[in-house]
Structure 1
Amino acid sequence: MFAQHTLSTAVRRAFPQVADIVYAVTSVGISSTMLHNWPNPQGYWRHTDAWAYALIALVYLPLTVRRRAPLTVLVSTATCTLCYFTLGYYHVVVVCGLGLALYTVAALCPRRVAAQCAAGSLLVLLWGTRLAEPGIGPLSVAFVTVMVAVTWVTGDRSRRLAERGERLAVLTEQLRLEQEEKAQRAVIAERMKIARELHDVIAHHVSVISVQTGLAGYVFTSDPRTARTALDTIAGSAHEAMAEMRRMLVVLREGTERAQEGGAASDYNSHPGLGRLDQLAQRVTAAGVPVDIRLTGAPFTLPPGVDLCIYRVIQEALTNVMKHAPTANASVTVHYDEAAVRVSVTDDGQKPVLAGTTAGPTAHGLIGMRERAGIYGGTVTAGPRPQGGFEVALTVPVPRDR
């Protein structure tokens, strides 16, 4: 297949050159035959000799390279045609050669240059009309004038079409590059989304497992019941982490269409959201950080994306409390406004440290929160509280149908 494509491309590239060679050689043969056989009983034209055939060859053979050097070929062809007319040979047989040379200049050179060449070619052809048979001189003048005009206009139009084609090719290439760039940006955005999900899922559950593992190891012999509870919490966290990872893999494999089909409704409904906020609080409480949940305002159904966004921000904020203030108490307040949901996650720890407040690897926490909220037009702020501890505040606008 590749060899066939290469051969086809080579043939297409070579065809114009081969066509010019065939045209030039054929024209020399036909013109020479016409010159030899054309009757001249009244002696209007000079007797045919070797110079006539040589000039015919010099008119047509340079046309084989007309695309490479259009101006040079036109000057050569016009000069030989002028010599041919001046010597008085039968004039008609060289007109086509000069016409093709003029067309090439008009098609490949700037308009002003082509117009000057058209004027020069017309003068050469008008000089040849003196060789016309008696009675048809005016007709010959009109013919060569119209021929030069049509040739120049046709070549100029061909040049403009070629320029439009080049511009279109440039625009097409630009469009292709822009589409590739958009596709790359979409891929990067999707990777960032996946990275946020992985960070939120893994960081939270690993933090819970780490805390509970330490607790279980510490009381393994002295308090078996507490150790057993810690191990149960570890198992539950690991199970939930695996469930969320499987859900993410399903989304990656089958796309969002699966979530819109009836058969996938259960998978979609299992996505984390505020409906699982109590489970999150229990898990964090079991890890040693008591969590108080408060819902205020008039709760309403949130879009799935916004629901997941709020849940992940709360999850990340509580994860940071476990990491940086493991002896603190945490409080989560979710307030439903008329057109927004406002969330506040606070703790009463003594070390006001939160991922994202300092440079380093932990900075991804707050960055991820802000990126999530920014997707839905929301904002995230974080900082120490005057009375001690730390607060993460999230506001997400949620338009509601009235």
Structure 2
Amino acid sequence: MDKPIPAANSAAATAAAAPAGPLDGIRVLDLTSVVLGPMATQALADLGADVIKIEGPEGDLMRANGVSRHAGMSSIYLALNRNKRSVVLDLKRPEGAAALRRLIAGADVLVHNMRVAAIERLGFGYAAVAAINPRIVYCVATGFGQDGPHRDKPAFDDIIQAACGLVALGSSAGGRPEYVPSLIADKTTGLALANAVLAALLHRERHGGGQSVEVPMLETMASFVMAEHLAGLTFEPATGGAGYARLLQGGRRPAQTADGWICALPYTDRHWKAFFHAVGRDELADKYDIASRAKRNANIRALYRHLGEITPARTTAQWMALFEALDIPATPIYTPDELPGHPHLAAVGLFQRTEHPTEGPLREMRPAARFSATPLSLRRHAPALGEHTAEVLREAGLAPEEIALLAGGAETADCAGGNAP
């Protein structure tokens, strides 16, 4: 693991210690909580934006979910809130709302995942915010698009997984429906939200003026799932049902070895011929006429059945050596516990050891993207609740006596997305 990265405790220390990313100079007001919104705003923070996390006195709900050393600083919170500053404001109090309006005046982006009615009640719907700052990009993550009949329904990751067809895909072979064991709807929609913010900022740069942007979870995930599964429904009239047969009818699957599991993916006729020749089963290449892509695809389940019958004869390491020699895509099956030791991830330093001022030594993941001119970095530790309240409000021009009056926070109920295990 890399040498520990010291925690940055001020904007000046941060600027001196780490390079700025391509969004340096962009200020984001982050009124999100749980998973979806923080995933999106962390993507912007990793790219160099100054993300100010507005929290209520109770803090982001996700501060309590996951593994914790100290209350309010859970593993999930730490993973989703690096490179941000935390400000506590109570938007239900006049002085808290007034402070947020001061921050809005100097911001480039405001992101929230409250229900629209809830933020309107607080006085921070798009019209009110744009009246303060017409150039602001105002982005809301909703559960369901606001022009549809489900616009007021609550939305969580499980609900969207079920509603978008993802859960049904997993049970297409007749098994019990199960949720994907990852907050995939929250995280996928979060990345879509970050992309939407970037597009709106580019539009503002080219044409001037801000705008309102909505990223609904159900529509985002339905598009995500159906990209390969629209199938016969693509055409009017439909030529068949939905579903990508190659995935739904089985075939490719992990193979057991003498000491574990491996994912091997012979993809071309050359791959299959080389594999069968290496294991002394040339007759199988002839039997299934694998030179024909159509016939190979038609027999894919039989081909992988043979592969699964052959692989228990050797160890994972032996198979990896053979597949690498044959240039066949393959990897051992890694558990999450094993990922920090993955030879590639270790070599590129994805997992880094940092020092947090309250949580001590941490293992964190650096931003994955690489920029040659504006490199990304772990500039800031995930903040304690309200850690930067006075600092940020001073920057906004509030007097010490005004700052002293503030103890509040943002509305955190009625959010779209983010129920976590």
TM-score, length-normalised on structure 1? 0.19
Higher relative contact order (CA 8 A, sep 6+): 2
Bigger radius of gyration, 1 or 2?
Answer: 1
| The structure with more helix, counted as a fraction of residues | 1
TM-score, length-normalised on structure 2? 0.18
